[in-house]
Structure formats: C-alpha cells, structure tokens
Homo-oligomer: A and B are copies of this chain.
Amino acid sequence: MEMSLFTILDVLGTIAFAISGALSAMNRRLDLFGIFIIAFVTAIGGGTVRDILIGSTPVMWMENIVYIYLIGVVTILAIIFRNKLNYLKKSLFLFDTIGLGVFTITGVETGIQNGLDPIVSVALGAMTGTFGGVIRDILCNEIPVIFRKEIYATACLIGALAYVILYDMGVDADVIYLVTSLTVISIRLVVVKYHISLPSFYPASPKSSKLR
C-alpha cells in the first residue's frame, strides 16, 4: 500500500477502533478471543459496511492481509498495556473519537470516488464512521454510543459536510483529510468536555412513557 495521507488515516482509524474494541471487551471481562473478536469487528465494521453498500466486494480486509495483522498486533499491545491505560473510560472515548473522525472521512471519500451524490456521500461517511462503535456496543451489551447524551453522529455529519464543501472548492486532498477529521475529533472533544447535548423531543401524553 502506497503511503499516502489517506492510507495513513485509514491505518490510524483501524488502530484506534481496534484499541477501543479491545478496551470495551476487557471492561466486559471477555476472554482472550472475545477481546480479539470485538477488536476486529469494531475495526473493520465501518469499512466493511461501506464496501458492501457500494458493492465493492471482497471487502477491504479480505483484499489486504495487512489489516488482520495490524489489528492482531494492536490488540495484543492493548492487552499487555491495559494497566497503563488507567483512565479506561477516557481512553475508550479518545480512541473511539479518533476512529470516528478518520473513518467518516474515508467513507465520504469513497462515496465521492464512486460518483455518488455529495449528500449520499455524507450519509455514507457518517455510517462508515459510526458503525464500528455501534457494533462494538451492541456486542458488549451497551447502549450504542450514537444514542448516548453527548453529540456523536452530529459531529461526523458536520465533518462530512465540511469535506464535500472543501472538495467542491477544489481544496487540496491532503488538506481536506486533515481539516475534516480534526473537525470531527475536535467537536467530540468539546461536546464531551462541556457536556453539550442536542434537544430531545417527545409527546407530552403520559400514555407515551412505555411502548409495552
């Protein structure tokens, strides 16, 4: 794989999500292979669903053996150094945020490269960025991160929108990659630090409290 900035981001996102998956799994007291499975699924989940929706099969981790080795090595390191990642909750948040940021960008890029409408590419980017975390949370029996209080999907939608705008303006590709992934990451850091949430909406009727 040539070492373009795009490739570096892709590798970074894979590493970040693999670590976040391993941390979630260790927190759930899963066994050695449970940790590997969650790390793997979190790391390749977004890219896999992106490739399936586009029709680009076999999916990326099947075409390039580097992904599996990378995830394996990163997971082993996460297990070995688990005690140094003292603030577990903060570490998981940090790595999930990095993965979200860079995978949103690869998703939007893939949409654009395949000639899809910019709005569709934004949706694809949001899906690519968030899917790994959602799968990790479902398997670890957590409420998916996109549904917790602070802004999550909004962050990657804003970053993805920034992508298509900068792309349309003819800005250099490497600049776009950096600016947009940092946008997503920054928004997440800020909203979690200051506990910023979006409004909720629900009908006022008392009958609406439970569906069953």
Residues of A within 8 A of B (CB): 24, 26-35, 37, 40, 48, 52-55, 57-59, 61-62, 65, 68-69, 79, 82-83, 85-89, 92, 111, 114, 116-117, 119-120, 123-124, 138-139, 141-144, 146-149, 151-154, 157, 197-205, 207-208, 211-212
- Which residues of chain B come closer than 8 Å to A123, judged between CB atoms? 40, 61, 68
- Which residues of chain B come closer than 8 Å to A119, judged between CB atoms? 65, 68-69
- Decide: B33 and A205 in contact? CB cutoff 8 A: no
Whole-angstrom CA separation of A138 from B134 in the bound complex: 12
Copies assembled = 3
Q: List 5 A-B pairs, Cβ < 8 Å.
A: A26-B200, A30-B200, A31-B198, A33-B157, A62-B120
Most chain B beta carbons < 10 A, residue from A59, A88, A198, A202? A202
- Decide: B57 and A201 in contact? CB cutoff 8 A: no
Looking at the complex, which one of B61, B82, B117 makes contact with A120 (CB distance below 8 Å)?
B61
